[in-house]
A and B are shown apart, each in its own frame.
Chain A
Amino acid sequence: MTRLPLLAALLFLATFVLLPLGGLVVATVRGPDGWTLAAWAALADDRNALVQLAASLQLGLAATTVSLLLGGLHAWVTVGRDLPGGGWLGPLGVAPLVVPPIFVAMGFADIAPAAGFWPCALLLGVAHAPFVAVLAARGLRGVDGRAYEAAWLLRGGRRAELWLLRAIAPELLAGCLLAFLFTLADHGVPEFLTVKGKTWHTYAEGLFARWNRRAVGTTFAELQSPIVAALPFVAGLGVLLWAALRLRAQGPDRGVVQPLPRRPLGRWRWPALLAPTTYLAAGIALPVVVLARWALGSAQRLEPMSLSFARQSFHKAIDQGLPDLLHSLWLALGTALLVVLLALPLARAAARRQPLLDLLCALPAALPAILLGIALVRAFHDSPLLRSFGGDFYAGWGFAVCGYAARFLPFAALTLSAQVRRQPVAAEEAGLLVARPPWARAVRLHLPPLLPAAWTAAVVVFVLALRELDLAVVLPAANATAVRRLANAVHFQHEDWSGVIALLLLAIAVLVPLLPSLLAGRRLRSLS
């Protein structure tokens, strides 16, 4: 009985991750005339693919450096410091996660020329800095204050700070690796900047471009080349992800510790405010201000900004974008619910019996969403299995939810498995002595301690699903989301009502997770 949820989750993983990926791999070696390595052999000659891979790597490194500077500094000066306002600036570190990278790009592109490599690296660095900020803060909160004080006593303040940096290095590196992975996988922002005059391309862009024009290829090798080029890279990303997971597992969060002592910033106390304000201004304030200005009519050259124009924008937005907004909302809610239901049994099994399940669950995070989308389309666009569900399941909400759930399962599964590992095994063993059916133990003993982490995971997945652009571009069932509509609308000079839709999307991303807390009247805890 209690194995049923685990079996269902494993079946889901097999169906929506392993099967599509396996199909992609097989397709690269299975030509019209049988098995062949022609597509792989052609990889070395595909100079375009190699150049794009190199561009992606450079972009990843540059953007990760920006993420480290912004997110790392934010955590460093707000956790355990006497920074003015640090108490509320610290928890805000997770807030920029709500803003889709494409909105950050829109915001920056509105105020300055955003063409070229460095602006793109800056945009993606800003957009993915929350990963570093959240994990670095988690690392700092997990350090035992007594150990820090011992280092301080023995080696002095400056050496103690270096010791602290080493202590949180695993978390910091894990955050950087996640930022790196997300930057490499991002297709939407580099593609958005293309219209602003960008002259170089990443491999995720190349992947999608050639997938879009797949009918143009003449030979089997040409048709397969983007996927062939992507697969070794995905394997590399998988190794990086594995390293990130191992590093996080070595993090200092080992139960109750004494928090770090409040460390004085001295004469840097006020100047240090620059770090969190820059981080939050770039990650939230700038995009929100630009979107608000669009709604007020800033993009209209003939008339000044006004509230009456904003009212018109709002009406247009409701008229043009409400169905997309609602589609996004239901899609994100469905994804969050499904992901948590799948992640609970997977996380328990990974934490208690099969640690390798962690890696399996994390696999979709190593894939560019574009590639996962292509894999899903190839596997299911004409699937008799999906047809057996009745109706057009492939083009409907259900398939989009499954695709999104496959993409975001790692976040929930890893969050929950970490939480299961923190639960004392002895308390579960005490439950084994009780003559109750397994489901009663699961519901009464195992589930309640996981509920806070499950809620956190649901919120993270909800927000990520709301802001997802890449998968929405590929999956027909997800084409009608608000983010997809926005990315298109801006190309066609519809900034006015696009700004309103974007602000409404941000409001949903903030308010829906807050709603239960507001209704229950409980103080919010940081998502980290």
Chain B
Amino acid sequence: MTTSVAVVDLCVHRGSFQLGPLTFAVPSGGRLAVVGPSGSGKTTLLRCLAGFEPAASGTIRLGDAIADDGRRRLPPDRRGLGLVFQDGALWPQMTALQHLQFAAPGLAADDALALLRRAGLEARANDRPGTMSGGEAQRLGLCRALAPGPGLLLLDEPLRSVDVHQRDGLVLLLRTLADERRLTTILVTHDRDEALALATDLVVLREGRMVESGPAQDLLQRPATAFTAAFLLGAACLPVSATDGDRLSTPFGTFARPPGAPGDLRLVLLPGDVDLAPPGSGPAGRILCALPGEDPVRLRVALADQIVEAHARAAPPAGAEVTLALRAAPRFLPWHEPTRP
């Protein structure tokens, strides 16, 4: 049975770090990714959902049960969830089969073997984690989490210790097993591709606060903050300064301030928003390298303390000084507080 998740005004205190207040919901069978840079509170949130960290205030509801309301806390083993840890967190003294049998009392050996077979670990059933590769260890961690038949699967950066060649296989396995069981899934990661591959909805965190949330496609097409654009789309965000009246000064010239925009704005340059231009017609940058591909040639260019992706017909040599120009109207977004209507 799958479990819905509802988090309302959740605050978690961990030393001097404060997470929240956070409010979000994941419907039964939904797939949510919590993304953000290191130190944004992703893992703290996941640990609180799992029951390892107490909520200071707010409510976590798993299905119909209140898991934590700041006063009463359901112990981790009674929350009916599975957790795949960052580095496996496997039990070194147990074989793969023993992992599953310990994790799910009453699980028949045949069923455990069948699960291991699905994960491509049947041949490793009697091996201990110490002899496994990073990818195999994470597959075993996934099997262990799924063995008791949880309604909610939490994933803590599951691909972090897996090498590039094994990532795709693990992503497919995670998707397949979660889809088959119609599992509610919450993933935390700082990797955009991992988030987009495994989730349909996103929550963006920064320094313990929620920057924005919503369906992944909406956030990708219309990020409400420069922080989200930078994190999810690899945008360069140049600081701007206000000049007289409603004008904003940027390296590309001065522009009118968008109506209703807050104070801390950034000029957001998505890949391809900038072209090479004749000398003297715009700010100067230095070519770092050309990316693979021919028409147009994609160039990584250093501009101030940012790196922008510019398009050109031919690739100047690395180190060459070039002039940049905006291809379309400039896009100004607040740094990390979405514009309130």
Chain A residues proximal to chain B, CB less than 8 Å:
424, 426-427, 429-436, 444-445, 448-449
Contacts and interface: CB of A to CB of B under 8 A. Distances in A.
Given A430-B144, A432-B75, A433-B50, A444 B85 contact: no
A435 B105 CA distance: 8
A435 B148 contact: yes
Contact of A434 (B52, B85, B93, B103): B103
B283 interface: no
Nearest to A440: B102
A430 B89 CA distance: 7
B4 interface: no
B89 A433 contact: no
* Prevailing SS type, chain A contact patch: helix
B105 to A, nearest CB: 6
B274 interface: no
B77 A433 contact: yes
A424 B92 CA distance: 11
A192 B180 CA distance: 78
B52 A432 contact: yes
27 contacts: A424-B87, A424-B89, A426-B85, A426-B86, A426-B87, A427-B90, A427-B91, A427-B92, A429-B52, A431-B91, A432-B51, A432-B52, A432-B77, A433-B50, A433-B76, A433-B77, A433-B79, A433-B81, A433-B145, A434-B77, A434-B102, A434-B103, A435-B77, A436-B77, A436-B102, A445-B102, A448-B93
Interface string B46-85: 0000111000000000000000000000011111011101
A444 B102 contact: yes
Nearest to B92: A449
Chain B interface size, as a band, is 20 to 34
B171 to A, nearest CB: 22
Interface in B96-153: 102-103, 105, 144-145, 148
A432 B92 CA distance: 16
B91 A445 contact: yes
Nearest to A424: B89
Contacts, number: 56
B77 A429 contact: no
Contacts of A448: 93
Nearest 9 Cβ contacts at the A-B interface: A426-B89, A448-B93, A432-B76, A427-B89, A430-B89, A435-B77, A426-B85, A433-B76, A434-B103
Contact of A429 (B78, B82, B89, B102): B89
Contacts of A449: 92-93
Contacts of A430: 83, 85, 89-91, 144
Nearest to B79: A433
Interface of B: 50-52, 75-79, 81-83, 85-87, 89-94, 102-103, 105, 144-145, 148
A255 B102 CA distance: 27
B102 A435 contact: no
Contacts of B85: 426, 429-430
Given A429-B89, A433-B50, 9 more contacts: A427-B90, A429-B76, A430-B83, A431-B91, A432-B75, A434-B148, A435-B77, A436-B105, A444-B91
A432 B91 CA distance: 12
A514 B35 CA distance: 54
B44 to A, nearest CB: 13
A160 B82 CA distance: 48
B60 to A, nearest CB: 15
Contacts of A436: 77, 102, 105
Contacts of A427: 89-92
A444 B144 CA distance: 15
A467 to B, nearest CB: 33
A433 B91 CA distance: 13
A444 B51 CA distance: 22
Contacts of A429: 50, 52, 76, 83, 85, 89
B51 to A, nearest CB: 8
Contacts of A433: 50, 76-77, 79, 81-83, 103, 145
B95 to A, nearest CB: 12
Nearest to A428: B89
A448 B95 CA distance: 13
Contacts of A445: 91, 102
Nearest to B103: A434
A437 to B, nearest CB: 10
A432 B75 CA distance: 8
A138 to B, nearest CB: 21
Contacts of B93: 448-449
Contacts of B86: 426
Nearest to B75: A432
B78 A435 contact: yes
A46 B90 CA distance: 62
A431 B148 CA distance: 13
Contacts of A424: 87, 89
Nearest to B47: A429
Nearest to A432: B76
A427 B83 CA distance: 11
A122 B92 CA distance: 45
Nearest to B94: A444
A429 B78 CA distance: 14
A445 B93 CA distance: 8
Nearest to A423: B92
A434 B51 CA distance: 12
Nearest to A438: B77
Nearest to B145: A433
Contacts of A431: 91
Contacts of B81: 433
A134 to B, nearest CB: 25
A449 B77 CA distance: 22
Contacts of A426: 85-87, 89
Contacts of B91: 427, 430-431, 444-445
Nearest to A436: B105
